[in-house]
C-alpha cells in the first residue's frame, strides 16, 4: 500500500449546528426519542460520507458523540456514578444525559477542560465497583459505517492511560486495580472489532504529550504490553496530539503497530526526535501535518517540504497523512461565511478545507509535487495576500512592541505604598463588598441588543436603554449597601467579542462554531491583523455610571491573555507578540478610563491559567510573557488608582505565586466550591495583596443563607488578614435572575456586617 490520508476526528455539530438543535429539542421534550435518534444518525452518516467524498482514505468511526466522548467511554465501561441509580445493563439515554447535566435528584458529574483546548469533557468517576462492558461503542460505529455506507472505517477510542488519568475518584494505590479492570474490557472491544473485520484501531493518548514521570511511562508500557498480548489481531494506532512527545524513545518502543505524532503544534520537536532517534521499521507513522487547532490555510509548500523530509526518514508506504488532532476544534466549513472580506476568507481553512489539504499533500507524494503545483501556489498566494494587508503591517506597532521596556510593566510604587494611598483616597470600610461586573442579562436586555444589531433601533435608542439599566442597578447597589459599584455590563454580549468588535485586527464569522461543552457552542473571534486601539471602548458607560453615585465605580475590562486564549489567533507572529499588542491597546483604554475619573479598574483574566502549556517545563516561559502582558496593560496608572483582576476557579496550589506576580491591588477568585484546597494554598504561600474569595456560587439560582457566607468568610479569614479581605460573589451575575441576585447580595452584605461587628468588638 502506498501513502494514505486519514483523519483523527471530524466535527459532529453540523454546518448549521443541527446537532445542538436536535439535542436541545430532545432535552426540552420537543422531539421524540426515535425521531431524535434518526436525526442524529443522519448527521453521523453525512459526516462520514463527506470525508469519503473528499477522498480521505481511512475515515474514523466512533468519534461522534451525543454529548462527550469521555462520557461515552465511561458509560461504556459501566462507570455510572451511584447517585444516578443505574442497575446494570444498557445505559439509557436518560441516564447518560443525567450524568452530563444532572437531574432533580443528582448533581451532574464535574466538567473540566480537555488538555489545552477550550473544549470541556465530563470527568469519569471511578468508584472501584466492578467495571463491565455495557456496549462496544466502536464496534457499533464500525458496523454502522460498513453496512450503511460501505465504509471500512478506522474505529477510534480514548486510550486507556489517558482515560485513567483524566478520570477521578481514585488514589495512586488504586491505579493497578483500575488498570486490571480496564485491560480486559479494552481487549474485548479490540477483539470484537477485529472479528468484525476492522484492521486498525486508533487509541488516543494525548496524555503522552504532557510531562510524564518514569513511573507513568512504566505504567503506559505495561498497559500496552498487556493489551497487545490480549488482542493480537488488530493493529493499534497509538495516536498522540496537541504537542510533541517528551518521551519519544519510550513511546516509539511501545508494542503497537503505529504511532501518530503532531507535526503542527509539535512539529519542530517531533521532527528533531525523529531525526535523532529514527523511527521503528515495523511501525506506521501517522503524520499530523495539518494544524487541527487553528483555522488558517496551510502553506502547502512548507507542508510538502516537511512531508518530503519525513518520507526520507520513513518510507511513504508506512506513512498516513492527517490533521494534527481531531477537527472538532475547528468549525465545519469556510464556505458558509459570506460576509468575510475575500482576502481573509481565502486564507482560512476549517475542517472541510483541511480535508482537501490532507488529500492534496498525499497526492503530491503519490504523483509527484508537479501534480499539486496549482494548489501549492494558491495556498502560498493566499497567505501572501493576507500578509500584505495593511491590517498586518502597522510599522509603529511593531516598533512599540519591540521597544517595551521593563519599567513599562512596573507600577510606579510598590504595592504597600499604593495600598496606603488608595485607602486614603477611597476610605473603604473593613471587608469591602463588591461584585464581579455583570448583572442579570434579562430577556429584555438581550432583546434590546438583538433589535439594535438588526438595525431595528438606533444607536441612540440602544444607548438610552443601556443607560436606564445602569441607572436602575446603581440604585439597587445603593439600596443593598455595597461599597464598590459596577455598571453591570449590559452593553456586552460576550466578554471577548465586545472588545474584539471595538479593537482593530479582529474579524467575526457567521457560522464558525465549535463546541465548548455539551451542546454549548462558541464562535471565537479571529485575530487576523495587528491589534490596535481605535476609540475608547468602555468609558461612556463607566463615566455615566460614576456620575450617578458617590461610591467608587469599577471600570471593567477583559485582560489581554483572556482575549488571546478565547480567540483564533494569527499564526505568522508569536502569541506573545499578539498578546503584547492587545496589552498596549488595553493600556490606552485604562489610561482613558483613569483620565475620565474612574479610579478602580478591573481587568479580568479568567483564561490566564488555561493557556498553560501541556508540558510543565514550558510553563515558566508562558507565564513570563502572560503576566508581563497583564502588567503592561495596567502599569501606567497612578498609585492611587486601584487595579483589580478576576479569575474563575483555578487550582491555586501551583499558581498563587503567578497570581501575586500580576501585581494587581485586588484580586477576586471563584472559590465557594473549593474551600479546602484554598485554605491549604494560602497556608503555604503568604499572599499580601487585596483578595476577595467568592463567598457564594453564582452557578446556582439558590439564594445563599447569611450563615453559610459567614462560615465561608471565617474560613478565608483563617488564612488571610481582615485588612486585605474583600467580599464578593464567585463570578459575574449575568446568568442569574433579577430577584435572586438582589436577595443574594443583600444576604452577602448582612453577612459582611456581622463580621465587621465582630471585629469592631475585638478592637475595643
Ligand atoms: N466581569 C465578567 C462578568 O462579571 C467576568 C466574567 C468571567 O470571569 N468569566 O461577567
Ligand atoms: Zn469568573
Both 565 and 604 in a single domain? yes
- The count of domains in the chain is 2
* Average pLDDT of the residues in 557-565: 98
Whether 670 and 737 map to the same domain: the answer is: yes
Give, using CA atoms, the residue closest to atom 3 of ligand 1.
732
249 pLDDT band, cuts 50/70/90, is very high
- The predicted pLDDT at position 676 comes to 64
Please check whether residues 193 and 239 belong to one and the same domain: yes
Whether 593 contacts 603, CB under 8 Å? no
Quick one: cell of 322? 492527517
How far does the centroid of ligand 2 lie from the alpha carbon of residue 647, in Å?
5
Q: What is the mean pLDDT of residues 311-332?
A: 98
Is the CB of residue 241 less than 8 Å from the CB of residue 292?
A: yes
Contact 704, 744 (CB under 8 A): yes
* Per-residue confidence (pLDDT) for residue 675, from 0 to 100: 62
- Calculate the CA 363 to chain-centre distance: 34
Q: Which three cell numbers stand for residue 727?
A: 467580599
What residue numbers bound the domain in which 358 lies?
Answer: 4-387
- Ligand closest in space to the Cα of 489: 1
Q: Which of 387, 408, 433 is the last residue of a domain?
A: 387
Structural contact between residues 108 and 67, judged by C-beta atoms closer than 8 angstroms: no
Exposure letters 634-649 (e unless 16+ CB within 10 A, then b): bbbbebebbbbbbbbb
Q: CB–CB of 229/185 below 8 Å?
A: no
pLDDT at residue number 1: 59
606 CA: nearest ligand 1 atom: 8
Query: Which tens digit of pLDDT belongs to each residue from 641-689?
Result: 999 999 987 677 788 899 999 999 999 998 876 666 677 788 888 899 9
Q: What is the mean pLDDT of the chain?
A: 96
Specify whether the CB–CB gap between 355 and 347 falls below 8 A.
no
| DSSP assignment of 335-353 | GG--SS-HHHHTTB--HHH
Is the confidence at residue 325, as pLDDT, over 90? yes
The domain spanning residue 107 has which CATH number? Answer: 3.20.20.210
Q: How many other CB atoms are there within 10 angstroms of residue 198's CB atom?
A: 23
Q: How confident is the model at residue 326 (pLDDT cuts 50, 70, 90)?
A: very high
Give the pLDDT band of residue 74 (cuts 50, 70, 90): very high
For 250-304, how does the pLDDT look when each residue is reduced to its tens digit (9 = 90+)? Answer: 999 999 999 999 999 999 999 999 999 999 999 999 999 999 999 999 999 999 9
Q: How far is CA 581 from CA 130, 507, 534, 574, 589, in A?
A: 54, 16, 13, 11, 13
Q: Which residue from 606, 644, 733 has its CB within 8 A of the most atoms of ligand 1, so it is best to mutate? A: 606
- Could you tell me the distance, in angstroms and rounded to a whole number, from the CA of residue 694 to the centre of ligand 2? 10
Element (H, E) at 319: strand 319-323
SS3 label, residue 290: strand
404 within some domain = no
Cell 477550550 maps to which residue? 118
Show Cβ contacts of residue 717 under 8 Å, excluding neighbours closer than 6 positions. 725, 755
**Helix intervals (H) in 28-151:** 33-53, 69-76, 93-101, 137-149
User: Which numbered ligand comes closest to the C-alpha of 732?
Assistant: 1
The answer, yes or no, to whether residue 734 has pLDDT greater than 80, is yes
Q: What are phi and psi of 634, to 5 degrees?
A: -110, -10
154 sits in which H/E element: strand 154-158
Q: Which ligand is nearest to the CA of 694?
A: 2
Backbone dihedral angles phi then psi of residue 631, each to the nearest 5 degrees: -65, -40
Residues 679 and 715: their CA atoms lie apart, in Å, by: 7
Centre of ligand 1 from the C-alpha of residue 132, in Å:
42
Domain membership of residue 161 (yes or no) is yes
Q: Ligand 1 atom closest to Cα of 732?
A: 4
**∠ CA 528-529-535, rounded to 5°:** 120
Ligand nearest 671 Cα, by number? Answer: 2
Domain membership flag for residue 514 = no
How far is ligand 2, taken at its centre, from the CA of residue 668, in Å?
Answer: 8
Report the side by side order of strands in the sheet with 568-569: 504-507, 526-532, 568-569
CB-based pocket (< 6 A), ligand 1: 436-438, 489, 495, 556, 604, 606, 646, 648, 731-732, 734
The pLDDT score that the predictor gives to residue 574 is 96
Question: How far does the centroid of ligand 1 lie from the alpha carbon of residue 663, in Å?
Answer: 20
**Strand pairing class (258-262; 235-239):** parallel
| Cα–Cα distance for residue pair 389/528, rounded to 1 Å | 10
547 and 683 inside one domain? yes
Q: What is the pLDDT of residues 185-238, one digit of tens each?
A: 999 999 999 999 999 999 999 999 999 999 999 999 999 999 999 999 999 999
A 10 A CB-CB count for 692 gives: 26
Distance between CA atoms of residues 705 and 672, nearest Å? 13
Pocket test for ligand 1, best of 494, 694, 730, 732 (most atoms within 8 A of CB): 732
Q: What is the pLDDT of residue 375?
A: 98
Residues in Cβ contact with 656 at an 8 Å cutoff, skipping those fewer than 6 apart: 681, 682, 684, 685, 687
Ligand closest to CA 697: 2
**Distance (Å, rounded) from C-alpha 545 to C-alpha 763?**
36
| H or E segment and range at residue 604 | strand 600-604
Q: What distance in angstroms lies between residue 557's CA and the mean position of ligand 1's atoms?
A: 9
- Same domain for 623 and 745, yes or no, is yes
Which secondary structure element, helix H or strand E, spans residue 321, and what is its range? strand 319-323
- 526 domain residue, yes or no: no
pLDDT of residue 654: 80
β-strands 319-323, 4-5 pairing:
parallel
Give Cβ neighbours of residue 257 (< 8 Å, ≥ 6 apart): 200, 235, 236, 237, 282, 283, 284
Nearest protein CA to atom 4 of ligand 1, as residue: 732
Helix, strand, coil percent values for the chain (each to nearest 5): 50, 15, 40
Query: From the centroid of its chain, how far is CA 245?
Result: 21
pTM: 0.95
Q: Given this model, what pLDDT does residue 256 score?
A: 98
Let me know whether 160 and 277 are in one domain: yes
Q: Point out the ligand 1 atom lying closest to the alpha carbon of residue 734.
A: 10
Distance 243 CA to ligand 2 centre (A): 28
Average pLDDT over residues 436-443: 97
Same domain, residue pair 623 and 683:
yes
32 burial (CB, 10 Å; 0-12 / 13-18 / 19+) is exposed
- Among 502, 499, 492, residue whose Cα is nearest residue 440: 492
- 41 contact partners, CB below 8 Å, separation of at least 6: 144
Do 308 and 445 fall within a single domain?
no
- Domain boundary among the residues 367, 387, 407 is at 387
Q: Tell me the CA–centroid distance for residue 604 and ligand 1, in Å.
A: 7
The active-site residue, picked from 273, 487, 675, 699, is 699
Query: How far apart (Å, rounded) are the C-alpha atoms in residues 703 and 270?
Result: 52
CA of 339 to the centre of ligand 2 (A): 33
Tell me the per-residue pLDDT of 275-285, one tens digit each, with 9 for 90 and over. 999 999 999 99
Q: How far is the CA of 667 from the centre of ligand 1 (A)?
A: 13
Instruction: Judge whether residue 700 has pLDDT over 90.
Output: no
- The preferred substitution site among 440, 558, 731, 741 for testing ligand 1, maximizing ligand atoms within 8 Å of CB, is 731
Task: Among the bound ligands, name the one nearest to the CA of residue 496.
Answer: 1
The protein residue with its alpha carbon nearest to ligand 1, atom 9, reads: 606
Average of per-residue pLDDT across 701-717: 93
pLDDT number for residue 650:
65
567 alpha carbon to ligand 2 midpoint, in Å? 18
In a 3-state reduction of DSSP, which class is residue 8? Answer: coil
Residue nearest to atom 6 of ligand 1 (CA): 732
**Which atom of ligand 1 is the closest one to the Cα of 646?**
8
* Residues sharing a CB contact under 8 Å with residue 79, sequence separation 6 or more, in sequence order: 124, 125, 126, 127, 131, 167
For residue 447, how far is its CA from the centre of ligand 2 (angstroms)?
24
Instruction: Reply yes or no on whether 699 is catalytic.
Output: yes
**Got the DSSP string for 84-113?**
G---SSSPPHHHHHHHHH--SSSPPPPEEE
Whose alpha carbon is nearest atom 10 of ligand 1? 732
63-66: long-range contacts, CB 8 A cutoff, minimum separation 24: 63/8, 63/9, 63/10, 63/12, 63/156, 63/326, 63/328, 64/12, 64/141, 65/12, 66/23, 66/40, 66/93, 66/96, 66/97
Please indicate, yes or no, whether residues 91 and 141 belong to a single structural domain of this protein.
yes
d(CA 128, CA 178): 7
**Ligand 1 atom closest to the CA of 647, numbered from 1:** 8
**Would residue 396 count as lying in a domain?**
no
Same domain, 422 and 549: yes
Q: What is the pLDDT of residues 454-498, one digit of tens each?
A: 999 999 999 999 999 999 999 999 999 999 999 999 999 899 999
Q: Which ligand 1 atom is the nearest neighbour of the CA of 648?
A: 8
Distance in Å, CA 730 to ligand 2 centroid: 7
Residue 563 lies in a domain: yes
The number of the ligand nearest the C-alpha atom of 607 reads: 1
Q: Which residue has the cell 495596567?
A: 634
- Over residues 147-199, the pLDDT tens digits come to 999 999 999 999 999 999 999 999 999 999 999 999 999 999 999 999 999 99
With beta carbons less than 8 A apart as the criterion, state whether 121 and 166 touch.
yes
Q: Is residue 564 part of a domain?
A: yes
Q: Using an 8 Å Cβ cutoff, are 72 and 99 in contact? A: no
Say yes or no: 457 and 311 in one domain.
Answer: no
Give the mutation target among 118, 441, 489, 669 for probing the ligand 1 site: most ligand atoms within 8 A of CB: 489
118, 120, 434, 436, best to mutate for ligand 1 pocket (most atoms within 8 Å of CB): 436
Ligand 1 atom closest to 436 (CA): 4
pLDDT for the residue numbered 684: 80
Point out the ligand 1 atom lying closest to the alpha carbon of residue 602.
1
Instruction: Name the closest-CA residue to atom 5, ligand 1.
Output: 732
Instruction: Give dist(CA 475, CA 551) in Å, integer.
Output: 11
Mean pLDDT for 532-537 is: 98
Residue 254 lies in a domain: yes
Same domain? 135 vs 71? yes
List the single range of 94-108, 412-426, 483-497 with lowest mean pLDDT: 94-108
**Among protein residues, the one whose CA lies closest to atom 1 of ligand 1:** 437
Q: What is the pLDDT of residue 79?
A: 97
Q: With pLDDT > 70 as the criterion, what percentage of the chain qualifies?
A: 99
Q: Which residues contact 684 (CB under 8 A, 6 or more apart)?
A: 653, 656
C-alpha cell at 685: 504561600
Q: Give the residue, out of 118, 484, 495, with the most ligand 1 atoms within 8 A of its beta carbon, to mutate for a pocket test.
A: 495
Mean pLDDT (whole number) for 692-714: 92
Amino acid at each position: 500500500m502506498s501513502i494514505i490520508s486519514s483523519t483523527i476526528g471530524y466535527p459532529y455539530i453540523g454546518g448549521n449546528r443541527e446537532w445542538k438543535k436536535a439535542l436541545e429539542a430532545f432535552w426540552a421534550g420537543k422531539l421524540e426519542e426515535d425521531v431524535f435518534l434518526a436525526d442524529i444518525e443522519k448527521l453521523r452518516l453525512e459526516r462520514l460520507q463527506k470525508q469519503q467524498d473528499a477522498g480521505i482514505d481511512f475515515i474514523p468511526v466512533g468519534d461522534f458523540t451525543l454529548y462527550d466522548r469521555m462520557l461515552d467511554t465511561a458509560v461504556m465501561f459501566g462507570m455510572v456514578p451511584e447517585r444516578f441509580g443505574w442497575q446494570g445493563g444498557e445505559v439509557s439515554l436518560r441516564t447518560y444525559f443525567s450524568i452530563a447535566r444532572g437531574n432533580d435528584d443528582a448533581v451532574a458529574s464535574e466538567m473540566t477542560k480537555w488538555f489545552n483546548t477550550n473544549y470541556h469533557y465530563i470527568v469519569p468517576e471511578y468508584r472501584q465497583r466492578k467495571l463491565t462492558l455495557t456496549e462496544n461503542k466502536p464496534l457499533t460505529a464500525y458496523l454502522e459505517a460498513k453496512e450503511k455506507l460501505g465504509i471500512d472505517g478506522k474505529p477510534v477510542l480514548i486510550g486507556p492511560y489517558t482515560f485513567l488519568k483524566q478520570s477521578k475518584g481514585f488514589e495512586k494505590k488504586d491505579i493497578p486495580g483500575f488498570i486490571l479492570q480496564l485491560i480486559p474490557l479494552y481487549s474485548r472491544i479490540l477483539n470484537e472489532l477485529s472479528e468484525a473485520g476492522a484492521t486498525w484501531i486508533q487509541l488516543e493518548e494525548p496524555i503522552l504529550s504532557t510531562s510524564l514521570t518514569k513511573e507513568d511511562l512504566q505504567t503506559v508500557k505495561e498497559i500496552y504490553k498487556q493489551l497487545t498480548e490480549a488482542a493480537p489481531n488488530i493493529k493499534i494506532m497509538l495516536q498522540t496530539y496537541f504537542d510533541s512527545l517528551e518521551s519519544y524513545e519510550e513511546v516509539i518502543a511501545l508494542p503497537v503497530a503505529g504511532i501518530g505524532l503532531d507535526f503542527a503544534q509539535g512539529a519542530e520537536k517531533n521532527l528533531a526526535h525523529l531525526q535523532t532517534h529514527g523511527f521503528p521499521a515495523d511501525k506506521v507513522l501517522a503524520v499530523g501535518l495539518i494544524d487541527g487547532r487553528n483555522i488558517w490555510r496551510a502553506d502547502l509548500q512548507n507542508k510538502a517540504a516537511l512531508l518530503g523530509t519525513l518520507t526520507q526518514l520513513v518510507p511513504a508506504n508506512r506513512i498516513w497523512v492527517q490533521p494534527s488532532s481531531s477537527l472538532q476544534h475547528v468549525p465545519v466549513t469556510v464556505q458558509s461565511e459570506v460576509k468575510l472580506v475575500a482576502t481573509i476568507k481565502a486564507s482560512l481553512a476549517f475542517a472541510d478545507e483541511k480535508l482537501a489539504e490532507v488529500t492534496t499533500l498525499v497526492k503530491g507524494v503519490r504523483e509527484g509535487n508537479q501534480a499539486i503545483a496549482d494548489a501549492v501556489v494558491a495556498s502560498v498566494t493566499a497567505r501572501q495576500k493576507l500578509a500584505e494587508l495593511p491590517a498586518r503591517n502597522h510599522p509603529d506597532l511593531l516598533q512599540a512592541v519591540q521597544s517595551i521596556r521593563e519599567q513599562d510593566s512596573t507600577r510606579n510604587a510598590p504595592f504597600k505604598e499604593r495600598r496606603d494611598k488608595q485607602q486614603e483616597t477611597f476610605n473603604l470600610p473593613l471587608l469591602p463588598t463588591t461584585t464581579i461586573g455583570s448583572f442579570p442579562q434579562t430577556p429584555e436586555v438581550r432583546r434590546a441588543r438583538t433589535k439594535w444589531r438588526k438595525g431595528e433601533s438606533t444607536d441612540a435608542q440602544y444607548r438610552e436603554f443601556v443607560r436606564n439599566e445602569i441607572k436602575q442597578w446603581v440604585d439597587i447597589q445603593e439600596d443593598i449597601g455595597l461599597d464598590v459599584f459596577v455598571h453591570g455590563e449590559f452593553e456586552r454580549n460576550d466578554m471577548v467579542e465586545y472588545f474584539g468588535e471595538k479593537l482593530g485586527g479582529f474579524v467575526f464569522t457567521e457560522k464558525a462554531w465549535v463546541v465548548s461543552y455539551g451542546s454549548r457552542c462558541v464562535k471565537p473571534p479571529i485575530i487576523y491583523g495587528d491589534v490596535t486601539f481605535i476609540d475608547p471602548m468602555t468609558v461612556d458607560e463607566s463615566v455615566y455610571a460614576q456620575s450617578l453615585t458617590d461610591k467608587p465605580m469599577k471600570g471593567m475590562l477583559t485582560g489581554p491573555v483572556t482575549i488571546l486564549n478565547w480567540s483564533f489567533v494569527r499564526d505568522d507572529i508569536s502569541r506573545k507578540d499578539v498578546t503584547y499588542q492587545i496589552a498596549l491597546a488595553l493600556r490606552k483604554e485604562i489610561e482613558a478610563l483613569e483620565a475620565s475619573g474612574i479610579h478602580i479598574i478591573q481587568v479580568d483574566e479568567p483564561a490566564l491559567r488555561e493557556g498553560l502549556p501541556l508540558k510543565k517545563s514550558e510553563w515558566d516561559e508562558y507565564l513570563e510573557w502572560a503576566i508581563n502582558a497583564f502588567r503592561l496593560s495596567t502599569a501606567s496608572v497612578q498609585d492611587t488608582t486601584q487595579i483589580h483582576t478576576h479569575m474563575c476557579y483555578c487550582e491555586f496550589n501551583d499558581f498563587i505565586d503567578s497570581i501575586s506576580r500580576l501585581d494587581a491591588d485586588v484580586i477576586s477568585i471563584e472559590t465557594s466550591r473549593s474551600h479546602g484546597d484554598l485554605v491549604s494554598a494560602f497556608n503555604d504561600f503568604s499572599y499580601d495583596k487585596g483578595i476577595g474569595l467568592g463567598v457564594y456560587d453564582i452557578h446556582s439560582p439558590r439564594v445563599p443563607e447569611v450563615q453559610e457566607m459567614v462560615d465561608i468568610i471565617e474560613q478565608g479569614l483563617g488564612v488571610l488578614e481582615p485588612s486585605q479581605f474583600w467580599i464578593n460573589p464567585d463570578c459575574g451575575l449575568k446568568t442569574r435572575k433579577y430577584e435572586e441576585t438582589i436577595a443574594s447580595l443583600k444576604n452577602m452584605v448582612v453577612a459582611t456586617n456581622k463580621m465587621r461587628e465582630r471585629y469592631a468588638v475585638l478592637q475595643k
